[in-house]
Amino acid sequence: MRKAFRQAASVFTKAAQAILALTVISGCSTTSVPSAYASSGKYAAIVVDANTGETLFSANADAGRYPASLTKMMTLYMLFEAMQAGRVNKNTPIPVSRYAASRPPTKLGLKPGQSVRAEDAIYGLITRSANDAATAVGEYLGGSEQRFAQMMTAKARRLGMKNTVFRNADGLPNASQRSSARDMAILGIALREHFPREFAYFSAQSFNYKGRTIRGHNRLLGKVQGVDGIKTGYTRDSGYNLVSSVKLDGRKVVAVVMGGASGGARDAHMASLIAKYLPRASRRGGEPLIAAQDTAPIAAPVQVTPVDLPEANDAPVPMARVETEEEVGQGDADDEVITALAAPAPRPAAAVAVASVARAPKAAIPAHVDPVTTASARSNDAQANSGWAIQIGSLPSSEQAQAMLAKAAAEAGQSLASVTARTETFEKKSKTFYRARFVGFETNTAALNACALLKKKNFNCFTIAN
């Protein structure tokens, strides 16, 4: 008994030391930072020796950044964990809700009421970065996307990811969803260590789905020797992101680049980091760097400390409303994908509330935004029918929309405490606009009452059925 206890303590001590090593900036060389990124508010990078945990290169590695579709790495972690526990297998049919099917591109084109095999969803997330499949997975595992995002954040804490908050399963724009290059490196190492069999999925460059060949976005696979995954990501606010896993001649590294100016520039920078720092990595293998986590439900709330995100420019906040709107979807293809969606589909009220929370000063972030709890899964059918939202403006920049939401939330106080602030993009006459909305109202009456209060505070607003 004592021997077993000492062995277990040794494993967790070594894991803790490895995670600590990931927080120490060592071997940092600013000469590896391209001059174009020297003053960028989006750029961050790190290269970690995946044998020892040593940081070989670091630049802004702990700064808050938008993860974009790197978020799907955690969605896949949670799915792999369910598969490892026997709750899901590769042929498990995952149902597709109307909400999941309505997610903007990139996507597989799933239809409401159909299902997608778990393995097809995995390949869809890795190659196509399919937002509809990611949302379906989140709803299946968590009961709603909101609960799944809470589970993802709690899992991130258990893995040692200190600066990460998840708000959705797919990585679509959300002002309060954040991470860091170091946290993404930790997640990349954890995926490799905890799921060595499933990790092979990340090397897929394409897959066949219903007679179509779907090609992946990760162009380093097959072109840079030793690269065997992991994931790309892109939104306007994040820039071009990439996590790469490399294994060659006994050396292993996980490298992260966030905030690239273009897909090509990001890939070139990642290739240069690999070329420079892989030869410096150790061939010595040791204990796992990230302790494997149990799959028991997480009962206690996890407090999330706000982190600084790239600063928004000061700008006036007009109260303009755009009457004719189309929506914009962002995935991680090199070019932004613009699509006009069908009318918003009815969806579970809990799923409506997941959306985007406006960035606010640390002291002003409401307590209800950050605590993370995990609840038992609940059927989508039990969360029937549609929710309601109120819109207070359509503005020409994300910063203006977020500022308006923050101001409205401050003015309304507890009246908006149970709903979520959200920005959504749409295109009109080749220009991008940002809707400022509060979502998650259970009834139209509740939305109308909140709207009436905001009008008394001199905010224009109207209600919307989601």
Share of the chain above pLDDT 70, in %: 72
pLDDT of 166 strictly over 80: yes
Count Cα atoms within 13 angstroms, Cβ side, for 414. 0
Work out the end-to-end distance of the chain between its first and last CA atoms, rounded to an integer number of angstroms.
57
pLDDT of 465 strictly over 80: no
pLDDT at 107: 93
pLDDT at 194: 95
Least confident range of 265-274, 304-313, 331-340, 370-379: 370-379
For 182-231, what is each residue's pLDDT tens digit?
Answer: 999 999 999 999 999 999 999 999 999 999 999 998 999 999 999 999 99
Domain boundaries, the chain: 13-280, 328-465
25, burial (CB in 10 Å: exposed 0-12, middle 13-18, buried 19+): middle
pLDDT of 409 strictly over 60: yes
List Cα–Cα distances, 69 to 82, 103, 230, 332, in angstroms: 21, 13, 11, 7
pLDDT of 57 strictly over 80: yes
pLDDT of 367 strictly over 60: no
Question: What rounded mean pLDDT belongs to the chain?
Answer: 77
Pick the catalytic residue from 42, 58, 72, 356.
Answer: 72
pLDDT of 368 strictly over 70: no
Q: What DSSP character marks residue 454?
A: H
Reported confidence tier of residue 22, pLDDT bands at 50, 70, 90: low
Question: How large is the average pLDDT for residues 107-120?
Answer: 96
Q: Cβ(358)–Cβ(292) under 8 Å?
A: no
What type of residue sits at position 262?
S
Where do we find the tokens 């259970």?
A: 442
Cis peptide before 106 (omega within 30 of 0): yes
Q: Which of 267, 260, 278, 256 is nearest to 181 (CA)?
A: 256
Question: How large is the average pLDDT for residues 445-464?
Answer: 84
Bridge partner list, 464: 389
Pick the catalytic residue from 69, 97, 176, 356.
Answer: 69
DSSP string covering 41-73, please? SS-EEEEEETTT--EEEEESTTS-B--GGGHHH
Could you tell me which residues come within 8 angstroms of residue 434 by beta carbon, excluding any fewer than 6 positions away? 394, 395, 396, 397, 398, 400, 401, 423, 424, 425
Instruction: Tell me the binding residues.
Output: 231
CB-CB neighbours of 200 under 10 Å:
11
Question: Helices 145-159 and 181-194, interaxial angle, to 10°?
Answer: 90
pLDDT at 428: 77
Count Cα atoms within 13 angstroms, Cβ side, for 130. 29
Domains 13-280 and 328-465 share a fold: no
pLDDT at 293: 56
pLDDT of 71 strictly over 80: yes
Between 170 and 421, name the one with better pLDDT.
170
Question: How large is the average pLDDT for residues 143-152?
Answer: 94
pLDDT at 110: 96
What type of residue sits at position 394?
S
pLDDT at 191: 97
pLDDT at 89: 96
Share of the chain above pLDDT 90, in %: 51
For 372-405, what is each residue's pLDDT tens digit?
Answer: 222 222 233 333 234 788 999 888 888 888 888 8
69-107 CB burial, b ≥16 within 10 A, e <16 = bbbbbbbbbbbbbbbeeeebeeebebbbbbbbbbbbbbb
Q: Which CATH superfamily is domain 328-465 in?
A: Sporulation related repeat (3.30.70.1070)
Pick the catalytic residue from 58, 97, 102, 129.
Answer: 129
Q: Which two tokens stand for residue 41?
A: 């508010």
Instruction: Tell me the binding residues for substrate.
Output: 231
CB-CB neighbours of 43 under 10 Å:
25
Question: So what's the architecture of 13-280 in CATH?
Answer: 3-Layer(aba) Sandwich (3.40)
Indicate if 72 belongs to the active site.
yes
Q: Report the distance separating Cα 44 and Cα 56, nearest Å.
A: 14
Q: What DSSP character marks residue 32?
A: G
Between 379 and 28, name the one with better pLDDT.
28
Between 97 and 349, name the one with better pLDDT.
97
pLDDT of 12 strictly over 60: no
pLDDT of 108 strictly over 60: yes
Where do we find the tokens 């796992």?
A: 288
pTM more than 0.85: no
Indicate if 115 belongs to the active site.
no
For 294-306, what is each residue's pLDDT tens digit?
Answer: 544 443 333 333 3
